[in-house]
Amino acid sequence: MTDNSRVVDSRLVRVSTAVVVAFAVCLLIAGNSSAAPQVQRAGLRPIPHPDLTKLEASVSDQIRALRETFQELATTDGIADGNLAEAHGDLGRLYHAYELVDAAEACYANASLLAPSDYRWHHLLGRLRESAGQLEAAAESYGKATRLAPKSKATWVHLGNVNLQLNRPVEAAKAFQAALELDPNEPAAHNGLGELKLSQRKYVEAVGHLSRALELVPVANRIHYSLGMAYRGQGDLEKARAHLQQRGTVGVKPRDPLTDELQDLLKGERVHMLQGRLAFNADRFQQAADSFAEAVKADPKSARARVNLGTALGRTGDAEGAMKEFSTAVELDPDNVTARFNLATLLVRSGRHTEAVDHLALVVIERPQDVEAKRELAKSLIRLGRNDEVLLSLPAVVDANLGDEEPLFALVNLWIDRRRYKEARDVLVRAHERSPSNGRTAHALARLLATSPDTALRDGARAVEIAARVYASTKQVAHGETLAMALAESGSCAKAATLQETLLGVATKIGETEMAARLTDALRRYRAGTPCNPPVAAKP
């Protein structure tokens, strides 16, 4: 699904005009064979069917329920490779969390095949293989991940550690240095380099890196052993003895969000979340809402569960229920911009613009580049008549999408209201240059060029050029009127009068009395000859 949704917290989605979510599918296996049925794609590995009997009954029951939902989803046509990759990836995470290595490996391998440019699956596959002692394969996976995401500190550190175990000092040093270039205070990279220098008997460098790692993470008492050995290599037996006496079992590792998230899957809330995502992707919104409600019951303080529940309720048509869940999510996590945006969107739809503005203003502060939030904010501010505030956000909204007519003409009219005609002209020029075939924009620009109150901005010749194309395409009286104005502004009064006579005849014939009166007044001016410049016209 595309709409205007956006992912947060891995896969929680924000809602737009229609409360929409683009949840990643969680592909869970079904069946009784040794490999689970799955959507067919060339080259995918069969996923082994793991033994669930060793798991707690509540967990295995939840996984079985997920399998049933997947079986229906897996037989649905048209599943995109990206969604299928997310599905394999989520399933791999679940198996990884429960140390079901073979099944997790197949899932990650399939996810990386389906989404070859997504580093996450290579990274997690590396973690899985490293923990299973498959160091060569782990190094290969980490290497692919670093090429796809060269700014992932954790991946570089893991690659360095694996190369260190494989006795590849040059490769290990490059990986640790890459991590330190991203963050000079990465303790795991300093520790890795310290261990490497120690193995190379470069004791001074080893002491430097190990001391820095210990300084950054004082509780990592396992570093004391290596640091003591480095001091002993230097011949400083007193310091060596002091550190060796403090040695312990607590090591240091990089902060790795992808791996750390695996522990969340051991919680009841997360399993219900997976169930809900599967149901949502199968367009079973009530079933999804029921599963998300179970996630909320498992953890009433989970803002992410409530955002998901609100989204699903919105798709069932329960806007009030959705707003209640988003409101609670905001109370639980005031910094949750997704919850605020979703809530504000529903408030806008229900006409509660003052409340919506309060939430949207905070979203824009938190995400100053969020054009969508600025658009919704501008929409509510316009409805409230708070035009001075609108001008703080609306220009960015218009520049982000010059083809979006609603904010474009709102901005043009605001500039005209403030007699800032140059700004109004400039934004219309940019929009026209971006989409020259857009008739409404072209007509508005031609009209402003012909009738601007700031006569220095008038350009009759250009107005004629633009207005002529529009009128030739539509033959509408209003467009012909603008062309006549442009002709008059360019000094072609006779041509303006001839065209105006034709337009007047059409307007009279179709009963447009008000327009006919306006055309008659202008016709008198055009017939009088030069100068016949048109007066200021209404807003475009």
81: which 2 tokens? Answer: 């490779």
Q: 3-state secondary structure string, 46-95?
A: CCECCCCCCCCHHHHHHHHHHHHHHHHHHCCCCCCHHHHHHHHHHHHHHH
CATH topology for the 435-527 domain: 1.25.40
End-to-end CA distance of the chain: 35
Which amino acid is located at 413 in the chain? N
- In whole angstroms, what is the distance from residue 230 CA to residue 237 CA? 10
pTM of the model: 0.61
Tokens 């250009």, located at residue: 462
- Of residues 23, 109, 50, 99, the one with CA closest to residue 266: 99
Coil/strand/helix, residue 35: strand
- Of residues 180, 138, 181, the one with CA closest to residue 158: 138
- Of residues 479, 476, 472, the one with CA closest to residue 450: 479
Domain boundaries, the chain: 435-527
Around 124, how many Cα atoms within 13 Å sit in the side-chain half-sphere?
Answer: 32
Instruction: Give pLDDT tens digits along the chain (540 positions).
Output: 333 333 223 333 443 333 332 223 333 333 333 444 455 566 888 888 888 888 788 778 777 776 666 666 666 677 778 877 887 888 888 889 888 899 899 999 999 999 999 999 999 999 999 999 999 999 999 999 999 999 999 999 999 999 999 999 999 999 999 999 999 999 999 999 999 999 999 999 999 999 999 999 999 999 999 999 999 999 999 999 999 999 999 999 999 999 988 887 776 677 788 778 877 876 789 988 998 999 999 889 999 999 999 999 999 999 999 999 999 999 999 999 999 999 999 999 899 999 999 999 898 888 888 888 888 888 888 889 888 888 887 888 888 888 888 888 888 988 998 899 999 999 999 999 998 989 999 999 999 999 999 999 999 999 999 999 999 999 999 999 999 999 999 999 999 999 999 999 999 999 999 999 999 999 999 999 889 998 876 555
- In whole angstroms, what is the distance from residue 280 CA to residue 277 CA? 5
480: which 2 tokens? Answer: 């012909």
> How would you label 474-507 residue by residue, b for 16+ Cβ within 10 Å and e otherwise?
eeebebbbbbbbbbbbbebbebbbebbeebbebb
